[in-house]
Structure 1
Amino acid sequence: MTEHTNEEIDELDENNELYEHHRFVTDPGQNPLRIDKFLVNRIENSSRNKIQEAATAGNIRVNDKIVKANYKIKANEVITIVMSFPPRELKIIAEDIPLDIIHEDDSLIVLNKKPGMVVHPGYGNYTGTMVNALAYHLKDLPLFNSEDPRPGLVHRIDKDTSGLLVIAKTEQAKNFLANQFFKKTSTRTYRAIVWGQMKEDEGTIEGNIGRSLQDRKQMAVFPEGDRGKPAVTHYTVLERLGYVTLVECRLETGRTHQIRAHMKHIGHPLFNDERYGGHMILKGTTFTKYKQFVQNCFKILPRQALHAKTLGFVHPESNEYISFDTELPQDMSEAIEKWRGYISGRDL
């Protein structure tokens, strides 16, 4: 008998996915079998309950058509499934940490993450994370228990990126939302300050994103070939500020460090993005006063200038599209005002 093919696909990062994707191709001699039984035998650490929850959320497909848990598979069929990761060996400590909650109902929470807050526990960050705060805020819900390091998470943003995140409060909502992020039907826009003057008022950046061959902590863009995963970022210039530009970015895909890597790739690293070289003075004059001005901006904005400003998705209960917007955080707003003052001559 031909062995089944299982291709694991990651949406965000090969080591830090928030939910897992599997693809199976049944062999030519496959006898009819319920799909939930088939999958539970082939996905490590899964359970029939988890598989059935994925089916209820519409996250199991055969030949690209949604099927129920009792569907009977046949020979030469392509099966795909999206499901949340099984718990890992890491205890979550509930901590009373303030959260900026924009919206909350029985299914989900939308919150505005502060810069500097790590989203979920991991190596070097076992406490003080957003998940620790959520575990306290939602300690009476079954989904938020000490065994799951990523309860309710369907997407994430970097530690030093601020902005909007949606958190599921039930398994049904988690599967429903994860499916939207996987299929790219959710909408997200970001505000970013980048080095240099963008030539065009709007544009699209395309290029596979994968781990850098020189630095595993960086993501790199691979314009050609099979390395990395496809990524598309659309940008619009909002304001030209001399040696930097304020842009809006709209994601078609959700790769790790996508905006940061794409902007560096086209020669416009994010302002004060240390990992991608934006913490150096990349544009401007050689005058001491200018250098001091930029250093002052770095002190005001001690992180990459990136904010997840808007977020939209279909609600898992009402099936209605809802969207949220936030103001720019104080550090980015102050840095923008400093640049406005510089180009007007007030700070010269």
Structure 2
Amino acid sequence: MKGRPPGKSSGPRKSGTAPAGRARGAVKAARARKPDAPKAGPRPPAAKPAAKPAAAKPAKPSPAKGVSLDVRQFRVGADDDGIRLDRWFQRHLPDVGFNTVSRWARTGQLRVDGARAAPGDRIAEGQSIRVPPAEPKAPETAKPRRVRPQLTDDQMAFAQGLVIHRDAQAIVINKPPGLATQGGTKTDDHVDGLLDALEFDLDQRPKLVHRLDKDTSGALLIARTARSAAYFAKAFSSRTARKVYWAIVMGVPSIEDGMIELPIAKQPGTGGEKMHVDEEEGLPSRSRYRVIERAGNRAAWVELQPYTGRTHQLRVHMAAIGHPIVGDGKYGGKDAFLSGTISRKMHLHARRIRVDHPDGGPVDVRAELPEHFAASLASLGFDLSAGDLPLDEEIARPPTREDEKKAARAHAKQIRKGRKGERRARGSGGGARGKS
């Protein structure tokens, strides 16, 4: 006998009747479905199928806090004139990353005065920047923000007392010896930490654009705005800024007006704390010196002008030619000190700074000597009024052929710049370039 599925009866099937096993299974299933079913009676009319719900309209995305869903328009201010477009985003929309800016540019969503723009394009004051809607960012773990310590009244008064020049774009202070320009290991007192005291009438923190060694005193230029900081930084990097130092050196140089051209590199094993002359690995470095007065063969008062900006450049160069700066034990050793009443502090002072001003004309400031330097000059019999020598460009002389060529090149550059501005204006007036 063939096997049968479970639950089927093996007896003969009667005509017109269901198998007993199947009937019992059906009753059990009915009871499971309807445990409290009423007795048989008239069947109620079948319920009509429910109507299909109307298709729901897509809900508008709710923007995250601080995120706009609208295209934004910004006007370029005077402080941003001439900077790159990606730099503008860093200043004003720091939450928008470079990759996002690049994608907006590629897809034509980023525009300046209606024309498609690239992250590297330069922008000008008064232009309109079209910025696409902000995109919600994934939540990030907030990093603890470093809070600068609040300055005391004494610190505020001290910092403001250092100011020897102030205008809308620049501040010049007379930095005392022993005060670092920036902080570092075991250096808590520095000029950078006092900049909050120098905001004055502007609601932005000033910025350092160059530095002086901790033991060097004198004129230190500080930018008051982002625009002037970029302008002054370019002046220093292109060597158009003029810095004049006074120093007292050991002995007297045999050449009274000389140029030192010796490459400088970090001295191995000092962790970058000390530099030295290195003919093979050093960076090109040029310093000019002029002897102002001499005290016999004992010492000389010299003017120094760095034509490059290497770390400790003047100190390394003067020590390299055998005339270390008085008080500079790091580079002159024990031979860098004078006996008697001469201070053991370093005698290097940034006497003058001259740099073009962003608004036209020059910033030209002189800083008075610290007490120990002035006392040493007097003790050695030097005449303070003899110190300010004219710069080469201040000496009246007929223009040379090279001067005329330089002026012609500058004039041609201005003409090209004007034509470029005209083309840019025509391009922005003609509508967007390419597909939007």
TM-score (normalizing by structure 1): 0.64
Name whichever of 166-175 and 130-139 sits farther off: 130-139
What SS does the corresponding residue of 1:135 show, helix, strand or coil?
helix
Does structure 1 conserve the Cα–Cα contact (< 8 Å) formed by 2:326 and 2:344?
no
Shift of 1:96: 2.1
Contact preservation (8 Å) 2:263, 2:283: yes
**Equivalent residue in structure 2 for 1:133, among 180, 183, 194:** 194
Structure 2: distance between partners of 1:309 and 1:136:
24
Greater share of residues in strand: 1
Q: Does 1:96 align with 2:138?
A: no
Q: In structure 1, the residue corresponding to 2:322 is in which secondary structure? A: coil
C-alpha separation between the residues in 2 aligned to 1:120 and 1:265?
27
Unaligned runs of 5+ in 1: 1-34, 52-65, 71-88, 145-150, 284-292, 342-348
CA RMSD of aligned residues (A): 3.2
Q: How many matched pairs?
A: 249
Alpha-carbon distance in 2 for matches of 1:97, 1:277: 36
The answer on whether the counterparts of 1:180 and 1:313 sit within 8 Å (CA) in structure 2 is yes
Higher relative helix content: 2
CA distance in 1, matches of 2:314, 2:335: 20
1:272 partner amino acid: G
Quick one: distance in 2 between partners of 1:282 and 1:106? 42
What is aligned with 2:275?
219
Q: How does 1:73-88 map to 2 (within 5 A)?
A: none
8 Å Cα contact 2:218/2:351 also seen in 1: yes
Q: Match of 2:325, SS? A: coil
Q: How far 1:40 moved relative to its partner?
A: 8.8
Question: For the structure 1 residues 282 and 306, does the alpha-carbon distance in structure 2 shift closer, same or farther, using more than 3 Å as the test?
Answer: closer
1:261-313 alpha-carbon deviations (Å, 9 max, x no partner): 111111111101121125x2469xxxxxxxxx71531xxx3321100001001
Instruction: Please state how far the C-alpha of 1:100 moved relative to its aligned partner.
Output: 1.8
Where does residue 323 of structure 1 map in the other structure?
364
Paired with 1:214 and 1:295, the residues of 2 have a C-alpha distance of 35
Rg larger in 1 or in 2? 2
| CA distances 1:292-338 after superposition (whole Å, capped 9, x unpaired) | x71531xxx33211000010011112x21231112322211211222
| Deviation digits for residues 163-196 of structure 1 (CA, Å, limit 9, x no counterpart) | 0011011100100000000000000100011111
Percent same amino acid at aligned positions? Answer: 31
Please tell me whether residue 296 in structure 1 is matched to residue 356 in structure 2. no
1:174 aligns with 2:195: no
Where 1:303 maps in the other structure, the secondary structure is coil
How far did 1:259 drift?
0.4
Instruction: Give ranges in structure 2 of 5+ residues lacking alignment.
Output: 1-83, 102-119, 125-144, 383-436
- 2:173 match: 111
Secondary structure, counterpart of 1:96 in structure 2? helix
1:198 is the counterpart of 2:253: yes
| Partner Cα separation in structure 1 for residue 97 and residue 238 of structure 2 | 24
Structure 1 residues 67, 229: CA separation in 2 closer, same or farther (over 3 Å shift)? Answer: farther
Separation in structure 1 between the aligned mates of residue 306 and residue 269 of structure 2, nearest angstrom: 26
| Counterpart for residue 309 of structure 2 | 254
1:271 aligns with 2:333: no
Whether the 8 Å CA contact 1:281–1:294 is kept in 2: the answer is: no
Higher relative contact order (CA 8 A, sep 6+): 1
Partner of 1:6: none
| SS of residue paired to 2:207 | coil
Q: Give the Å deviation of 1:159.
A: 0.9
Partner of 1:153: 208
- Cα distance in 1 for partners of 2:310, 2:355 equals 18
From 315, 333, 348, give the equivalent of 2:374.
333
Q: CA 1:159/1:91 → structure 2, altered by over 3 Å: closer, same or farther?
A: farther
CA 1:215–1:277 in structure 2 vs 1: closer, same or farther (change >3 Å)?
A: farther
Structure 2 Cα separation of the partners of residues 246 and 110 of structure 1: 25
Q: How does 1:1-40 map to 2 (within 5 A)?
A: 36=85
Deviation at 1:36, TM superposition (A): 4.6
What residue in structure 1 maps to residue 284 of structure 2? 230
Give the 3 Å change call, closer, same or farther, for CA 39–131 of structure 1 in structure 2.
closer
Deviation digits for residues 118-157 of structure 1 (CA, Å, limit 9, x no counterpart): 112222122x32222221232775542xxxxxx5111010
Letter in 1 for 2:282: G
Change (3 A) 1:39 1:274: same
Change over 3 Å in CA distance of 1:140–1:231 after alignment to 2? same
Cα distance in 2, alignment partners of residues 90 and 106 from structure 1: 29
DSSP-derived class of the 1:294 partner: coil
1:184 is matched with which residue?
239
The partner residue of 2:182 within 106, 110, 120 is 120
Aligned AA (2:193): N
CA separation in 1, counterparts of 2:214 and 2:87? 39
